[in-house]
Each structure stands twice: as C-alpha cells, then as structure tokens.
Amino acid sequence: MRVNTVSPGPVRTAWWTEEGGAADILSARTGADRDAVLDRVAPELMNLSIPRLVDPQEVADAIVLLASPRSAATTGADLAVDAGFLKQV
C-alpha cells in the first residue's frame, strides 16, 4: 500500500476571491485594492518564495502525479504545493 499527501499552501480559491473573502478583508486592513491584495500584497505578507498564490490546478496536478503509475515507487511523501511558504529543504 502507498500513502502520500499533498499539502497546499495559499491557493487562489473562492475563500480568497469571493465578495467578503480574504482579499476583501486584507484590502480593508491594508488600504490596497483587492486585485493588488491577490496579486502582490498577500504573497508579500506571507513571504512566499514564488510571489503569487497557488493556482488550484497546480494542487490537482500534484495529486494526479502521486496517484499515477509514474509515482508507483513513491510512498511516504508529502508534496508541499505552497509557493514556497514553508522554508525548508
């Protein structure tokens, strides 16, 4: 049996983008408009190595890779799809 995990970081989902979501809350607190929050402010505040929120497709791609035969010998792995939020090697 194989067991692997995917640990997403800040993903650009409805939690961020819907009206009243995280982008609006940060916009009100920082004075930046919501687009600036999504594109620049939030990644800067989280000190992301890749300065953008993760696209949901990137998380899905990691899951598909781990579930595919291409990763048949991979077990006990955790893929951090987090734009560099975790600072470790």
What integer pLDDT is reported at residue 68 of this predicted model? 96
What integer pLDDT is reported at residue 88 of this predicted model? 76
Give me the residues of the chain with pLDDT under 50, please.
none
Query: Measuring CA to CA, which residue among 81, 83, 63, 80 is closest to residue 71?
Result: 63
Query: Measuring CA to CA, which residue among 25, 45, 43, 33 is closest to residue 83?
Result: 43
Q: With contact defined as beta carbons under 8 Å apart, do 11 and 21 qualify? A: no
Instruction: Name the strand (E) or helix (H) holding 79.
Output: strand 78-81
What integer pLDDT is reported at residue 71 of this predicted model? 96
